[in-house]
Amino acid sequence: MKRIYKYPFPIQVESDFVIHMPVGAKILTVQLQNGDPYIWAIVDPAAEICARSFLLFGTGNPLPTDITALPYIGTFQLRSGSFVFHLFEGIA
């Protein structure tokens, strides 16, 4: 039976990070909960776990890689909109 899980992640601007989640997880959104960023995904908890790579960029910061081909996950804001971040899925 599939479920919706949430995955916390670090604020590491202009670098990639990995989240381990079940194979075939369908990412729904990225948002803040209690001030911390999470990715929500539909998962099959019985599926094998795999590593998925993500990249985070701040508004106005240089883009060191060509992100146009990467899947866009979403945008979220911290500190009442003082910081705006854009999350993409990378290549693991």
pLDDT tens column, 11-60 = 877 778 999 999 999 999 999 999 999 999 999 999 999 999 999 999 99
Question: Which tokens is 35 given?
Answer: 């001030």
Distance CA 87, CA 49 (A): 21
- Contact (CB, 8 A) for 67 and 55: yes
At 83 the pLDDT is 92
- Contact (CB, 8 A) for 52 and 83: no
**Domain boundaries of the chain, sorted by first residue:** 3-89
At 65 the pLDDT is 67
- The whole-number average pLDDT for the span 67-83 is 90
State yes or no: pLDDT of 72 exceeds 90.
Answer: yes
The owner of tokens 């883009």 is 63
